Amino acid sequence: MDKRSIRITIKEKLQTLSKEERLSQESMLYSQLFEMPEWKKAEVAACTISVGNELNTYPIFIRAWKEGKKIAAPVVKGSKKELDFYIVNKMEDCREAGFGLIEPDPSKCEYVSPEHIDLVITPGLAFDKEGFRIGYGGGFFDRFLQGLPVSTVSLVFQEQLMENIPRESFDVPVNRLLIGKRAEE
Ligand SMILES: Nc1nc2c(c(=O)[nH]1)N(C=O)[C@@H](CNc1ccc(C(=O)N[C@@H](CCC(=O)O)C(=O)O)cc1)CN2
Ligand SMILES: Nc1ncnc2c1ncn2[C@@H]1O[C@H](COP(=O)(O)OP(=O)(O)OP(=O)(O)O)[C@@H](O)[C@H]1O
C-alpha cells in the first residue's frame, strides 16, 4: 500500500474506535510512557497538542507540569516546513493555528532549541513494529529529527499498527513504540 492509501485506511480505522476503547488504550499508553526511564529522566519533553482523532495528549502535559518537567509543543514555520518548539506552561498560552491545529503562542511561551529537548513524543497516523511512521504528509518530524540525537517515542493505538510501512530515504524511525492493546470483546 502506498503512503496515501495507508493514511486513508488508518484515518477510517481510527474513526471506528469507540470512546471506551479509545480511553482504555490511552490510559495503558500513558502508564507505559510515565514508567519509561527516558520520561523519568527528561527535564524537557516535546509533544504535539492533539486535535481530532489523535491520541489525547493533554494528560501528558498535565503529568509533565505535575512532575516539574518542562514540556514544549511545536509551532509550524510555514514556508520551510520546519518546526519550532516552545515551552508550554499552561494551555491558555496556546492559540489556534492553520489546519485545525493548536500551537503555543510564541509571544507567551519560551523558545527551546532542539538540543535542549530530552524526549520527543512523536505523532503519526500509521506505524510498523520497527518504528517507521507516516504522519500527515508534511515531513515535519522527519525534517526535525534528521541528525538530532534525541530519544523518540510514539504512543500508538493498536489500530495504527501496520505490517509494512513504505520506507523512503528521509524517514526517521522512532526509538520506541508503545502500543495499546484492544480490550477483549
Ligand atoms: N496535533 C498535531 N500537531 C502537529 C502535528 C501533528 O501531527 N499533530 N504535526 C506533525 O507533523 C505538525 C503539523 N503538521 C502538519 C501537517 C500537514 C500540514 C499541511 O500543510 N497540510 C496540507 C497538505 C500539505 C501538503 O500536502 O504538502 C493540507 O492538509 O491541506 C500542516 C501541518 C506540527 N503540529
Ligand atoms: N529531512 C528532510 N529534508 C527535506 N525534505 C524532507 C525531509 N524529510 C521529509 N521530507 C519531505 O517531506 C515530504 C513528506 O514526507 P512523508 O510523506 O514521509 O511525511 P510524513 O512522515 O507523513 O510527515 P511527518 O514527518 O510530518 O509526520 C516528502 O515529500 C519529503 O520530500
Residues composing the chain: 185
Q: Which residue's CA is the closest to the ligand 1 atom numbered 28? A: 99
Q: Give the tens place of pLDDT for each residue, 27-65.
A: 999 999 999 999 999 999 999 999 999 999 999 999 999
Q: At how many degrees (to 10) do helices 58-66 and 19-35 cross?
A: 30
* Residue 16 belongs to domain spanning: 3-179
HSE at residue 40, side-chain half, CA atoms within 13 A, is: 5
Residues with CB under 6 A from ligand 1: 48-51, 54, 74, 76, 83, 99, 101, 123, 135-138, 140-141
- CB distance 177 to ligand 2 below 6 Å: no
- 118 domain-assigned: yes
On whether the CB atoms of residues 117 and 162 are closer than 8 A, the answer is: no
ipTM of the complex: 0.91
Mutation choice for ligand 2 from 156, 170, 174, CB with most ligand atoms inside 8 A: 170
Domain assignment present for residue 170? The answer is yes
The verdict on residue 184 lying in a domain is no
| 185 inside domain | no
Q: How far is the CA of 182 from the centre of ligand 2 (A)?
A: 30
Q: Please give the single-letter amino acid code of residue 176.
A: R
Q: What per-residue confidence (pLDDT) applies to 126? A: 98
153 domain-assigned: yes
Query: What is the pTM (predicted TM-score) of this model?
Result: 0.95
Instruction: Give me the CATH number covering residue 156.
Output: 3.40.50.10420
> pLDDT (tens digit, 9 = 90+) per residue, 108-133?
999 999 999 999 999 999 999 999 99
Three-class SS state of 93 = helix
The count of domains in the chain is 1
> CA of 75: how far to CAs of 68, 98, 100, 111, 174, in Å?
22, 10, 13, 10, 20
Q: Output the average pLDDT for the chain.
A: 96
Q: Among the residues of 55-118, which ranges form H helices?
A: 58-66
